[in-house]
Amino acid sequence: MRKTILYLAVLLILPNLGFAQDSRTCSNETLHSSYGFVISGSRPVPGQPGVMELVVGTALTTFGGNGNFVQTDNIHGQVTGLKTPDRPGSGTYNINADCTGTMVLHNEGVPFGLILSIIIVDNGKEIRAAVVDITGDSSGTPPPIMVVSNGKRID
């Protein structure tokens, strides 16, 4: 009887000490809210080959929980300034069980889409993102866009 009580006590205590396996998994449904993003990095200056500029900005992105999202961003370039305030965009996303994933963003007036690598952190409260490639470019060499963003869920 004493051994049984000891075993039960150990079984009840161990999960609370953090030895239990993490059962957190993610899916497209993990993102089902609006997030405010801060954006920074560098990009080529449109119409000026070989010229790069630093950029900063914000975006409000609303994920539907089904693999689609809409976004409004405001990007300010060091050279170009604020060209298109409140620029609309939309796209798709795919989230893996390990909370990593990809997004493809198409902004109004931009002839290519941005492919982002994303990580969901803090149980879906935050998203980290980095532009890793573009779509729709037939030259085979993506422009050197080096942009990262951090988003926080708006509760």
CATH fold, domain 23-153, is Lipocalin (2.40.128)
The residue among 142 and 144 whose pLDDT is bigger is: 144
Mean pLDDT of 61-88: 95
* Nearest-angstrom CA–CA distance, 123 and 31: 10
Say what the pLDDT of residue 144 is: 82
For residue 40, give the amino acid letter.
S
Report the pLDDT value the prediction gives residue 16, as an integer from 0 to 100: 44
Query: When comparing pLDDT for 69 and 50, which is higher?
Result: 69
Length of the chain: 155
Backbone angles phi, psi at 75, to 5 degrees: -110, 130
Query: What tokens does 137 get?
Result: 């470019």
* Residue 132 in this model has a pLDDT that exceeds 70: yes
Cα 119 to Cα 93: distance, rounded to the nearest angstrom: 12
Residue boundaries of the structural domains of the chain: 23-153
The pLDDT of residue 14: 40
Arithmetic mean of pLDDT over the chain: 85
101-104 — which CB contacts under 8 Å span 24+ positions?
Answer: 101/26, 103/69, 103/129, 104/135
Q: What is the pTM of this model?
A: 0.81
Q: Worst-scoring range by mean pLDDT, 34-43, 94-103, 129-138?
A: 129-138
Over residues 7-33, the pLDDT tens digits come to 433 334 444 444 333 457 999 999 999
